[in-house]
Amino acid sequence: MSGLRRTRAVFLKECRHIVRDVRSLILALAVPLLLLLLFGYALSLDVDRIPTLVYDADRTAASRELISRLEGSRYFEILGYVDSYRPIQEGIDEGRVLMGVAIPQDYGRQVAAGGRADVQVLIDGSDSNTAAIALGYVESLVRDYSFELRSAALERRAGRRLEPPVEARLRVWYNNTLESRNYVVPGLIAVILMFVSTLLTSLTIAREWEMGSMEQLLSTPLRPGELVAGKMLAFFVLGVADMLLAVVVGVLVFGVPLRGSLLLLGATACVFLFGALFWGIFISAATRSQLLAYQVGFITSFLPALLLSGFIYAIENMPAPIQAISHIFPARYFVTILKGIFMKGIGLEVLWPQALALGIYTTAVFLLATRQLKRRIA
């Protein structure tokens, strides 16, 4: 029997096992969909509709105009108006509000006189990132309103308008709506594929050892490379189904734009899947225990893909040693490819370093899995 026929026999054997285990099959297809829907809807990096309380001690036309600017902005949600600082403090302590705006009594008089009119902003700094963004929003709004007041006063007095020294004209590329969903969902596809593919295959050879069927396989002319390839191909079909499901849900349900090449997306996803599946087989061959294989697979697949891939947290902001460690994990390169294809529409002429890194990783893990299996057999 040729090597190709032996590999095909292992492939058919694993396919039959997958089809017979209906619960595992449903779980393998349902978990990616559940994770995608859960993370896609629940995980949002957008900071808008900031819950705000307003303390207007001035109660003049100028203070009401400033409040109307806050109400008209989509970034702030006025929950109520208070008559002291205490309700603002209590609201922040209880987590009901993120920001409080206090307008002092002499605000209107200072504005009318063309002097300096102060506005106090109280922000919950427990979440420093959200607090910094909220502070930037309110500073920009107050700055624009102050410039309009100065310009109107100068026009009344001197008959000319105040021109800004710098006029900013912004153009947002690739994600012009600034929705975090368009950024999160493509990276989430990589996390799901890495996690599910590794866990699926990390149990397969360990299960053979625990059930005693590995001894039967060892009595055949089957070679380690053929065993690894046959098992991997069976789960590869399941991984491709998960990938197609994730892409369809991302595009049709979440409305994420797919601007790049579908062919490049499919090719790089297949290389990434091969690497994840080979890594699961290596873990399975090394541990020979389903429980231990599951634990190692979870630690080495889901956590690095979630934290060290650039999926949520920018790698550039991490310490240098952590940045160096992140190069080990393939999800880092696949997340970059996914975001480039989905959002930017770029091709292999830009993404070839990441594609090459995936190819090297997949080849290395295949050799490791085969060598580990040979060692176990010996």
SS (H, E, C) 123-147: ECCCCHHHHHHHHHHHHHHHHHHHH
Predicted pLDDT at 217: 65
Distance CA 364, CA 135 (A): 48
Those residues whose C-beta lies under 8 Å from the C-beta of residue 64, and which sit 6 or more positions away, are 56
**77 forms bridges with which residues in the sheet?**
51
Q: Answer whether 54's CB lies under 8 Å from 101's CB.
A: yes
β-bridge pairing 99-103 and 120-123: antiparallel
Pick the residue with more confidence: 2 or 94? 94
Pick the residue with more confidence: 18 or 83? 83
β-bridge pairing 99-103 and 50-56: parallel
- pLDDT surpassing 60 at residue 1: no
**Mean pLDDT along residues 204-225:** 68
Pick the residue with more confidence: 15 or 68? 68
- pLDDT surpassing 70 at residue 107: yes
Average pLDDT, the chain: 81
Pick the residue with more confidence: 240 or 181? 240
Angle at 233 between CA 242 and CA 299, to 5 degrees: 60
**Mean pLDDT along residues 149-159:** 63
**Mean pLDDT along residues 156-175:** 66
Top-ranked range on mean pLDDT: pick from 161-170, 300-309, 315-324, 349-358: 349-358
Tokens of 159: 């008959």
Cα 236 from chain centroid (whole Å): 24
Using one digit for the tens of pLDDT, what is the confidence trace for 217-253? 666 666 766 777 777 788 888 888 888 888 888 888 8
Predicted pLDDT at 334: 93
**Mean pLDDT along residues 209-220:** 67
Using one digit for the tens of pLDDT, what is the confidence trace for 56-68? 888 888 888 888 8
Amino acid at 180: S
Q: String of b and e for 318-327 (b: at least 16 CB within 10 Å)?
A: beeeeeeebe
What's the count of helices (H) and strands (E) in the chain, helices before strands?
15, 4
Nearest to 49 by CA among 69, 89, 78: 78
Predicted pLDDT at 359: 93
SS3 label, residue 291: helix
Least confident of 65-79, 223-237, 311-325: 223-237
Long-range Cβ pairs for the range 364-368 (8 Å, 24+): 365/275, 365/278, 365/279, 365/282, 366/228, 366/274, 366/278, 368/278, 368/282
Q: Answer whether 56's CB lies under 8 Å from 68's CB.
A: no
Instruction: Sheet containing 99-103: give its strands across.
Output: 76-82, 50-56, 99-103, 120-123
With cut-offs at 50, 70 and 90, classify the pLDDT of residue 337. very high
SS3 label, residue 76: strand
SS3 label, residue 226: helix
Distance CA 222, CA 374 (A): 11
**76 forms bridges with which residues in the sheet?**
50
Predicted pLDDT at 204: 72
Q: Name the strand (E) or helix (H) holding 202.
A: helix 180-202
Q: What single DSSP character describes residue 78? A: E
Predicted pLDDT at 265: 92
* Per-residue three-class SS string for 154-167: HHHHHCCCCCCCCC
Q: Answer whether 15's CB lies under 8 Å from 234's CB.
A: yes
- Count of positions (residues) in the chain: 378
Cα 42 from chain centroid (whole Å): 11
Q: What is the dihedral of CA 100, 106, 112, 114, to 10 degrees?
A: -80
- pLDDT surpassing 70 at residue 157: no
Tokens of 356: 């090459």
Top-ranked range on mean pLDDT: pick from 12-16, 97-101, 113-117: 97-101
Predicted pLDDT at 132: 84
**Mean pLDDT along residues 124-135:** 82
Predicted pLDDT at 305: 87
Q: What single DSSP character describes residue 288? A: -
- pLDDT surpassing 80 at residue 319: yes
**Mean pLDDT along residues 299-306:** 86
Predicted pLDDT at 164: 59
